[in-house]
Amino acid sequence: MVIDLHSHILPGVDDGAYTMADALEMARMAADSGVHTLVATPHYRYYGHDNHSQILETFDRLQDQLAYEQIPLNLVLGTEIWLAHGNCPTLESNMCYPNTNWFLAEFSVDESPENMDLMLQAYADQGYRPVVAHPERYLAVLDDPIIAKHWLDRGWGVQINRDSLLGRFGRRCHACSEFMLAQGWVNLIASDAHDPQIRSTSWSAALATLTRDVSHRMLERCVEINPRKILENQPL
């Protein structure tokens, strides 16, 4: 059973699903491939536009449609927050995973490791707990993956993208994500799904591959046990 903490399934609010039909197809693909809970994590203030009321309204509409279509998927609302120097928003409760102090953070690919640390630690000092989205896509981590271990050592979430492990983001991302996983420097794997075709919500191919390549215990920790801890506001 998969608890997927990172997806862009809400239609029309960011660069994820385009239409409600796409979103429903993504929901079906998730449910059919063993996903129990899918967290919608739309980009916060997409392109500088405050889209929060649109996000809430779209989330409610999608939940109604899931019930109507009888798609057995627990849909949860989160947010993905882009952090950059000069762009570290004050966190409000609706920007974390619901009823928790865990939040999902992403950076530009060329952000410096010093800046990433400073920004994440500033939130940690306020009592928040970061989940770092797709570290294997940041140039600093590609050059020096031990950065991820330092985040892990502080009790934070290190979430690699499922499709990086399948080689869909190129050779460097693939090698880096495999290396981090083998070292035990990863505690979460999520889809970061954006559409039904290219970056989808289906876990079928990934589970087949990962079941072959990764220990059962590690896989279960990254896709089920630790995601559940986050949603229950427990430490990792």
Query: Which stretches of the chain bind Fe ion, using CB under 5 A?
Result: 80, 192
105 vs 114 by CB, closer to Fe ion: 105
The DSSP 8-state label assigned to residue 193 in this structure reads: B
User: Tokens 């050592």 appear where?
Assistant: 153
Neighbours of 129 (CB within 10 A): 21
Least Cβ distance, residue 70 to Fe ion (angstroms): 28
User: Residues 219, 222, 227, 230: is their CA dihedral positive or negative?
Assistant: positive
The residue at minimum Cβ distance from Fe ion is: 192
CA distance 123 to 68: 39
87 vs 211 by CB, closer to Fe ion: 87
User: Tokens 């309204």 appear where?
Assistant: 57
Backbone phi, psi, residue 102, to 5°: -90, 135
For strands 80-82 and 74-77, give the pairing: unpaired
107 vs 156 by CB, closer to Fe ion: 107
131 vs 180 by CB, closer to Fe ion: 131
Contact 133, 106 (CB under 8 A): yes
Least Cβ distance, residue 113 to Fe ion (angstroms): 20
Least Cβ distance, residue 115 to Fe ion (angstroms): 19
131 vs 147 by CB, closer to Fe ion: 131
Work out the burial of residue 211: count CB atoms within 10 Å of its CB; fewer than 13 is exposed, 13-18 middle, 19 or more buried. Answer: exposed
45 vs 220 by CB, closer to Fe ion: 45
Could you give the angle at the alpha carbon of 153 between the alpha carbons of 119 and 193, nearest 5°?
A: 65
Least Cβ distance, residue 186 to Fe ion (angstroms): 16
User: Tokens 């919500």 appear where?
Assistant: 201
Least Cβ distance, residue 193 to Fe ion (angstroms): 9
Least Cβ distance, residue 96 to Fe ion (angstroms): 16
